[in-house]
Amino acid sequence: MKEKVIEVRNLVKKFGSFVANDHLNFDVYQGEIFGFLGANGAGKTTAMKILCGLSAPTSGEVKVGGFDIYTETEKVKRNIGYMSQKFSLYEDMTIAENIRFFSGIYGISPKERKAKQEILLKNLDIESSKDSLIRSLPLGWKQKLAFSVAIFHDPKIVFLDEPTGGVDPITRRKFWDLIYETADRGITVFVTTHYMDEAEYCNRVSIMNDGRIEALDTPENLKKQYGAKNMDEVFLKIAR
Amino acid sequence: MKTIFYVIQKEFIQVRRNKTMLRMIVMIPLLQMLVLVFAATYDLKNVNIFLVDKDMSSTSRKLASKFEASPFFTINNASFSPEEGEKELLRNADNMVLVIPKGFERKLIRDDKASLQLLVNAIDGQAAQLGYSYAASVIRGFNKNIIAEWKGLPEFNPPFQINAVPRYWYNAELEYKWYMAPGVLAILVTLIGLFLSGMSLVKEKEQGTIEQLNVTPIRKIHFLAGKLIPFIVIALFDLSFGLLIAKIVFNLPIVGSLGLVFGFGILYLIGILGLGLFISTVADTQQQVMFVTYFFMMIFILMGGIFTPVDSMPKWAQLFDEANPVFHFMKVMRMVILKGSDFGDLIHEFFALCILGFTFLSLSVLRYRKTA
């Protein structure tokens, strides 16, 4: 069995009397692509924000990258990358300036940055756009770039919150190629999505409903278990 | 520590890319200094008089010409009807109605005294009082002349009187612009500092970049310091720019040390930017920031003593002003620039600004949380 990079035990998050996360229990292993599914308002984003240290849980134990999120928040943050729903590079800065800024914050030396930046630009095939403002780029590029910047400091885990919203199937497919490459490098990918074809790409999938995890297994096993042809049917059976 | 540098660099890049912001940084000092200082003046320039001379004697005409001769008064209209004068007051066409009653000269000769009536438009109390006291002094001068004329000898049995001859220190020519300029400079620095810092954090919230920062291991002290330093630099640039304009356009004498002006400027800005950041941590949108910032600006500036002397405010207002950074800074600016006060004269303001700055800054550091 591989190393556990995320351990969640009895995680509860309440907003007043509303229970957003109701006793969540799950583990995520190193290098896997973990799909986090659920209808809107099921509590996916809330749980993800807790794992990233953006939000404090009401109760329960959570370890990310081997560190406790209550007491070792800053160590957790060194070891994760995050790409939110809201596209979040600085629109009024260029690609190179964004990379320089985020590298600086993670303490990456200018020398290392330059070397890695070159590889990044080459991989995404955007070397000539290095000095373009982010706001001038097409959405698909922005998403790939935001993802690349989120893993620029080689985190153990990267969290992607609906990373492919609003782009065409081909661009989405290309984005998933990037995700595979990342997982191959040993970085764990924790991804939420609404697209059930994307769920098929994951190693394991959890499906949330009303703040609880209703199912957690490989897409193959889930389809067998629910007697469904594809993940779409599985999802509809559980979410209803 | 190096992270501060990266945040500063980022802020400067963003300011540079923001055309509106750049224009504001240059245009606000220019407009404020040139428009506000010229316009917001209490110098009494021109009082329009409506003359109702019912006496039509040589004495009444002499009095009228006395007013005409004064640089402050213009006899705009004349009529025999005080009602018409009242109408002019209502229309705001004239500021004052001077009524010389019938038999004025005769009474003066026979009884040695006579009455006049002055109706003053006192919607603006300050201007009314000033106008009245100028008018009264014209009449007093006229009175003395008559005594001298009629009694023959000017110093013949003069009534015993003490003459106070004022010497106006620190602003000998009572140049109102010199009094206004340091105050407007203080407002300028406040405006720039408060808006820049107020917008900075909330903009990141609106764009979602704040989350991206909050998942990084950046220390919030470093982040906030990196945010503040560029705005201090920009506000100090505007302070120098404003001073330069004041020097060139108004020939503002800068008696005290510029070092002191800028030293206090930095201290003051730390507090103002702290307040702006605090507003920014509480608010969710730029619109909210605008409203709250505007509210603080209004109170701070109106109570800070730019237009009305704080000494003549009620006791509670003076106490409140101890917590008003604009009040302290404006005082420092006027004292250093016009009087040449040194640090020793400003100990009280120094500690007040230190305490306020520390409070605002602590509030914003405490309120800003990376983990909600």
Structure tokens at B232: 């201090």
Residues comprising chain A, all counted = 240
Q: A93 lies in which domain range? A: 4-239
Q: Do strands A4-15 and A18-29 pair parallel, antiparallel, or not at all (unpaired)?
A: antiparallel
Say yes or no: B211 contacts chain A, CB-CB below 8 A.
yes
Q: Which helix (H) or strand (E) holds B287?
A: helix B286-303
Say yes or no: B126 contacts chain A, CB-CB below 8 A.
no
Last residue of a domain, one of B98, B119, B151: B151
Residue A197 has pLDDT above 60, yes or no: yes
Contacts of A73 in chain B (CB under 8 A): 370-371
Number of structural domains, chain A? Answer: 1
Q: Is there a single domain that holds both residue B190 and residue B144?
A: no
Q: What is the distance between the alpha carbons of residues B342 and B324, in angstroms, rounded to a whole number? A: 22
Is residue B192 situated within a structural domain?
yes
Contacts of B6 in chain A (CB under 8 A): 100-101, 104-105
Convert the pLDDT of each residue in B256-310 to its tens digit.
999 999 999 999 999 999 999 999 999 999 999 999 999 999 999 989 888 778 8
Q: Which helix (H) or strand (E) holds A63?
A: strand A59-64
* Residue type at B347 in one-letter notation: I
Is residue B156 situated within a structural domain?
no
Q: Is there a single domain that holds both residue B220 and residue B266?
A: yes
CA-nearest residue of chain A to B12?
A93
Say yes or no: A111 contacts chain B, CB-CB below 8 A.
no
Q: What is the distance between the alpha carbons of residues B362 and B278, in angstroms, rounded to a whole number? A: 9
Q: Which helix (H) or strand (E) holds A59?
A: strand A59-64
Structure tokens at A223: 């389809």
Is residue B200 situated within a structural domain?
yes
- The per-residue pLDDT for B159 is 58
The residue behind tokens 């290098």 is A31
With residues binned 3-state (H G I as helix, E B as strand, rest as coil), the percentages for chain B, rounded to 5, are: 70, 5, 25
Convert the pLDDT of each residue in B17-41 to its tens digit.
999 889 989 998 999 888 888 776 6
The answer to whether B258 and B201 have CB atoms below 8 angstroms apart is: no
Q: Is there a single domain that holds both residue B187 and residue B111?
A: no
Pick the closest to residue A93 from B345, B9, B45, B34 (CA basis): B9
Q: Is there a single domain that holds both residue B181 and residue B120?
A: no
Q: Is there a single domain that holds both residue B266 and residue B203?
A: yes
- The per-residue pLDDT for B366 is 92
Is residue B283 situated within a structural domain?
yes
How confident is the model over A219-230, as a mean pLDDT? 90
Question: How is residue B174 annotated by DSSP?
Answer: -
Q: What confidence tier does B224 reach under pLDDT thresholds 50, 70, 90?
A: very high
How confident is the model over B42-71, as a mean pLDDT? 85
Q: Is there a single domain that holds both residue B244 and residue B265?
A: yes
Is residue B164 situated within a structural domain?
no
> In this structure, what CATH number is given to the domain that contains residue A39?
3.40.50.300
Residue B155 has pLDDT above 70, yes or no: no
Residue in B2, B10, B18 nearest the CB of A101: B10
Is residue B162 situated within a structural domain?
no
Is residue B168 situated within a structural domain?
no
- CB atoms B208 and A84 under 8 Å: yes
What is the rounded average pLDDT for all residues in chain B?
88
Q: Is there a single domain that holds both residue B259 and residue B146?
A: no
Q: What is the distance between the alpha carbons of residues A11 and A59, in angstroms, rounded to a whole number? A: 6
Angle between helices B286-303 and B176-207 (to 10 degrees): 160
Is residue B170 situated within a structural domain?
no
Residue in B3, B208, B215 nearest the CB of A80: B215
> In this structure, what CATH number is given to the domain that contains residue B142?
3.40.1710.10
Q: Could you write out the DSSP letters of every residue in B42-66?
A: -----EEEEEEESS-SHHHHHHHHH
Convert the pLDDT of each residue in B76-125 to its tens digit.
888 888 888 888 888 888 888 999 999 888 888 888 788 888 888 888 77
Q: Is there a single domain that holds both residue B262 and residue B194?
A: yes
Q: Is there a single domain that holds both residue B116 and residue B18?
A: no
Within B77-124, residue ranges assigned H as helices are 82-90, 104-111
- The per-residue pLDDT for B153 is 55
Q: Which helix (H) or strand (E) holds B326?
A: helix B325-334
- CB atoms B213 and A56 under 8 Å: no
Number of structural domains, chain B? Answer: 2
Q: Is there a single domain that holds both residue B184 and residue B287?
A: yes
Q: Measured between alpha carbons, how far is residue A126 from residues A120, A145, A160, B12 in Å? A: 9, 10, 22, 25
- CB atoms B3 and A101 under 8 Å: no
Q: B218 lies in which domain range? A: 2-40+175-367
Q: Is there a single domain that holds both residue B188 and residue B283?
A: yes
CA-nearest residue of chain A to B15?
A92
The answer to whether A199 and A176 have CB atoms below 8 angstroms apart is: no
CA-nearest residue of chain A to B18?
A92
The answer to whether B269 and B239 have CB atoms below 8 angstroms apart is: no
Q: Is there a single domain that holds both residue B187 and residue B312?
A: yes
